[in-house]
Amino acid sequence: EAGVTQSPTHLIKTRGQQATLRCSPISGHTSVYWYQQALGLGLQFLLWYDEGEERNRGNFPPRFSGRQFPNYSSELNVNALELEDSALYLCASSSEVSTEAFFGQGTRLTVV
C-alpha cells in the first residue's frame, strides 16, 4: 500500500511568488494535516482538512491556505512568499479522528 506522497520534493521560488504543494493521503484516509518544519526546529501545525472541510488552522498568516479535493488529496498554497517561509512542509494523513497520523517525505521549499 502506498504511503503519503508529496510533490514536488523540492521547490525553489523567489520572494513574492506563490508556491503550490501537493499531498496524496494513504488510500482510505480522509484527514490531511499540513505542518511546517523550519531548519533545526520542530513541527508547527498549519492546517487540518477532513472530508473536504478545513477543521483547524494553526497560527499562520492568511497567505497560507489550502484545500482538500473530493478524492481527499490536498493542496497547500503559500502566497507572497517570504524568505522565512523556507522550510520543509510535511503532510500527514489519518483515517479518523483518534488514530495515528502518517507522514509523507515532505516538500523542501526554498525562497530566494
Binding stretches for another protein (CB under 8 A): 4, 31, 33, 35, 39-45, 48, 50, 55-56, 58, 90, 92, 94, 97-98, 100-106
Cell, residue 78: 503559500
Query: Minimum Å distance from CB 28 to another protein?
Result: 16
Q: Which is nearer to another protein, 39 or 62 (CB)?
A: 39
Query: Minimum Å distance from CB 61 to another protein?
Result: 18
For 38, what's the count of Cα atoms within 13 Å in the CB-facing half-sphere?
8
Pairing label, strands 31-37, 87-94: antiparallel
Query: Minimum Å distance from CB 54 to another protein?
Result: 12
Query: Minimum Å distance from CB 53 to another protein?
Result: 12
Q: Which is nearer to another protein, 71 or 105 (CB)?
A: 105
CA separation, residue 9 to residues 51, 58, 87 (Å) = 25, 23, 12
Q: How many Cβ atoms from other residues are within 10 Å of residue 29's Cβ? A: 19
CA–CA gap between residue 36 and residue 19 (Å, rounded): 14
Q: Which is nearer to another protein, 13 or 45 (CB)?
A: 45
CA–CA gap between residue 86 and residue 68 (Å, rounded): 23
Q: Which is nearer to another protein, 17 or 92 (CB)?
A: 92
